Structure 1
Amino acid sequence: MSAALRFEDWYALTQLYADYASVVDAGNWEQWPEFFTEDCVYRVQPRENHERGFPLATLSFESKGMLKDRAYGIRETLFHDPYYQRHVVGLPRVLRVDDGRIECEANYAVFRTKLSQLTTVYNVGRSLDVVVRTPAGLKFARREFIYDSEMIPNSMIYPL
């Protein structure tokens, strides 16, 4: 049964989205996994694959432990040209509220700036999210970034 979202929950949800973008944009990779539940799903997938029901994704993680491993890899083992990301995220559109679980989506655009280069549009699409109430506040149980383009430039090092 779907219920209405209380103002306090709406505020907490919009703050979750804003805080998430801020942490990722700042490159605080050790904080990134803390936005998720232990048994979370994080996926980045092209729109075409999503709409056709194809499972192939650019990134796919199925636990907070896998997110922590990715964060460690970014900090310690991956070699790449450093760049900055900047997220512009629309307000979440609440699709369903049920017993401490919020299904929602939000449009996003991510801009990338490499050192000594112009800023470019890196990735654009929407996130399909399941947010749950935990003792530590709202957390993502599922976060799927569905990007509009069939192509992404080079490689995807940092999470969206």
Structure 2
Amino acid sequence: MSSPLNFEDWFALNQLYARYASALDAADWDAWPEFFTDDCIYRLQPRENHERGFPLATLSFESKAMLRDRVYGIRETLYHDPYYQRHVVGTPLVREVAGGRIRCEANYAVFRTKLSQLTTVFNVGRTIDEVARMPDGSLRFASRLVVYDSEMIPNSIIYPI
């Protein structure tokens, strides 16, 4: 059975989304996995595949350890032109609250700025999230499905959305 969020939980949920975007915008890659539970799922998937029920995803990670491996890759093995990201995230829409979990989603837009170039829209879509309450009372993503709208994406996605 679903129950509404109280103000403290609503505020904590919004802070989770805001801190997540802030960490990515600041390129604080070590912080990124810490927004997730140990057995989390993080997937980046085109809208068409999601709507048609196709499992193919651009990125798919099934644990915090896999997220940490991605951080290592960002820092140590992936070569790319440097750029900045800026996330604009909508207020999460709570779909269900049950069993210590919050099922919610939010729209997002990510802007990219390469050095000496104009800022461009990099990626837009929505996240479909399951947020878990941890034993210490904090909230973390148990599952984050990033569904991007455009079939056209850059030839590589380096940083998390």
For normalisation by structure 2, the TM-score amounts to 0.98
Range 132-141 or range 58-67, more displaced: 132-141
Q: Aligned runs of 1:55-134 on 2, under 5 Å?
A: 55-134=55-134
Paired with 1:135 and 1:24, the residues of 2 have a C-alpha distance of: 25
Aligned residues: 160
Q: Counterpart of 1:117 in structure 2: which amino acid? A: Q
Paired with 1:151 and 1:63, the residues of 2 have a C-alpha distance of: 27
Partner of 2:6: 6
Paired with 1:96 and 1:28, the residues of 2 have a C-alpha distance of: 30
Partner of 1:18: 18
Paired with 2:123 and 2:17, the residues of 1 have a C-alpha distance of: 17
Paired with 1:52 and 1:144, the residues of 2 have a C-alpha distance of: 15
Paired with 2:64 and 2:127, the residues of 1 have a C-alpha distance of: 18
Paired with 2:140 and 2:120, the residues of 1 have a C-alpha distance of: 30
Unmatched tracts of structure 2, length 5 or more: none
Alpha carbon RMSD of aligned pairs, Å? 0.7
Q: Counterpart of 2:74 in structure 1: which amino acid? A: I
Q: Percent of pairs identical after alignment?
A: 74
Q: 1:47: how far off?
A: 0.2
- Structure 1 runs of 4+ with >4 Å offset: none
Partner of 2:44: 44
